[in-house]
């Protein structure tokens, strides 16, 4: 379980998060939704100790993220931020191989090689494995980064807007892959999503943030409703059912 207790965060004079308390259960897929600037990315990077906590406490399976050695945490939790700028000239296989660092500490063995190949396989990167990152499209690059995060083989995987740059085929394939990780491998996936319909279709739990506060948590049935979405986004969005699925008609 990821437990967030009374976390507040300020950047400069602006309050990004205000007294956020939240429990993300072990297993399953949790979606973080909310308008731009709601504090979703900040919350994710605080949980993953990329940004030091200013106030409050975050624990992952009881490990306090501000006290646990980074190395131990890296075998428990992996995070992929939005569009990380990687200056180094790397092939896709090299990049995915870096995901094994918490386990191999730079001396990869057979197990690590197998995990890298499995990640390349799972994200259909086989034909691209020898290509350099700067020779890929945005979407291909994004898949390579997700594959690296997957190769880390952690119980918890945090993804900040992983659908960015992905076309609908790969966006759906990625959500399906994440779903399978949660269902078959018992991983806990936390993902920031902008497209509410992906959250409705694939998540077990949805957490809605607005202006640095939690304004709703629950199942997709509970959160994807005109009323709950108004609380999160401050605008009226019609929700209907098409072929048995909840669909938010936010695009028109």
Binding site for other proteins (CB under 8 A): 45, 48-50, 69-75, 78-81, 84-91, 94, 98-99, 101-102, 105-107, 149, 152
Among all chains, which residue has been given the structure tokens 């902008």? 194
Q: Considering the complex, state which of residue 45 and residue 225 has its C-beta at the smaller distance from other proteins.
A: 45
Q: Considering the complex, state which of residue 133 and residue 246 has its C-beta at the smaller distance from other proteins.
A: 133
Q: Considering the complex, state which of residue 102 and residue 162 has its C-beta at the smaller distance from other proteins.
A: 102
Q: What stretches of the chain adopt beta strand conformation (E)?
A: 2-11, 14-24, 28-33, 55-60, 63-64, 77-80, 156-160, 188-192, 205-210, 213-218, 238-242, 245-249
User: What number of residues does the chain have?
Assistant: 252
CB of 110 to other proteins, least distance (A): 18
Q: Considering the complex, state which of residue 144 and residue 246 has its C-beta at the smaller distance from other proteins.
A: 144
Contact 164, 83 (CB under 8 A): yes
Q: Considering the complex, state which of residue 101 and residue 201 has its C-beta at the smaller distance from other proteins.
A: 101
Alpha-carbon gap, residue 173 to 185, rounded angstroms: 17
Q: Considering the complex, state which of residue 151 and residue 203 has its C-beta at the smaller distance from other proteins.
A: 151
Of 91, 49, 86, which is closest to residue 70 (Cα–Cα)? 49
Q: Considering the complex, state which of residue 151 and residue 163 has its C-beta at the smaller distance from other proteins.
A: 151
Longest dimension (CA), the chain: 54
CB of 84 to other proteins, least distance (A): 5
- Residues 6+ away with beta carbon under 8 Å from 118: 151
CB of 2 to other proteins, least distance (A): 15
CA-to-CA separations, 38 to 29, 83, 132, in angstroms, rounded: 20, 19, 35
CB of 7 to other proteins, least distance (A): 18
Alpha-carbon gap, residue 222 to 66, rounded angstroms: 33
The one-character DSSP state at 132 is: B
CB of 50 to other proteins, least distance (A): 5
**Rg of the chain on CA atoms, in Å:** 18
CB of 238 to other proteins, least distance (A): 38
CB of 43 to other proteins, least distance (A): 15
């Amino acid at each position: 379980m990821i437990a967030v207790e009374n976390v507040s965060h300020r950047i400069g004079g602006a309050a990004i998060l205000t007294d956020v308390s939240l429990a993300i259960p072990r297993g399953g897929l949790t979606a973080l939704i909310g308008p731009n600037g709601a504090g979703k990315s900040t919350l994710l990077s605080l949980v993953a100790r990329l940004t030091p906590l200013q106030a409050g406490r975050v624990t992952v399976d009881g490990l306090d993220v501000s006290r646990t050695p980074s190395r131990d945490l890296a075998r428990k939790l992996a995070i992929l931020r939005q569009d990380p700028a990687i200056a180094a000239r790397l092939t896709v296989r090299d990049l995915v191989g870096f995901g094994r660092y918490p386990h191999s500490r730079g001396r990869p063995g057979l197990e690590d090689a197998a995990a890298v190949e499995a990640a390349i396989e799972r994200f259909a990167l086989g034909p691209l494995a020898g290509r350099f990152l700067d020779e890929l499209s945005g979407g291909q690059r994004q898949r390579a980064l997700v594959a690296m995060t997957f190769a880390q083989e952690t119980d918890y995987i945090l993804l900040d807007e992983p659908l960015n740059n992905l076309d609908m085929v790969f966006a759906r394939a990625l959500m399906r892959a994440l779903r399978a990780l949660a269902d078959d491998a018992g991983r806990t996936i936390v993902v920031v999503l902008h497209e509410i319909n992906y959250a409705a279709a694939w998540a077990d739990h949805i957490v809605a943030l607005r202006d640095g506060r939690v304004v709703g948590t629950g199942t997709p049935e509970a959160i994807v409703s005109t009323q709950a979405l108004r609380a999160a986004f401050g605008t009226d969005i019609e929700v209907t059912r098409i072929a048995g699925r909840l669909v938010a008609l936010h695009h028109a």
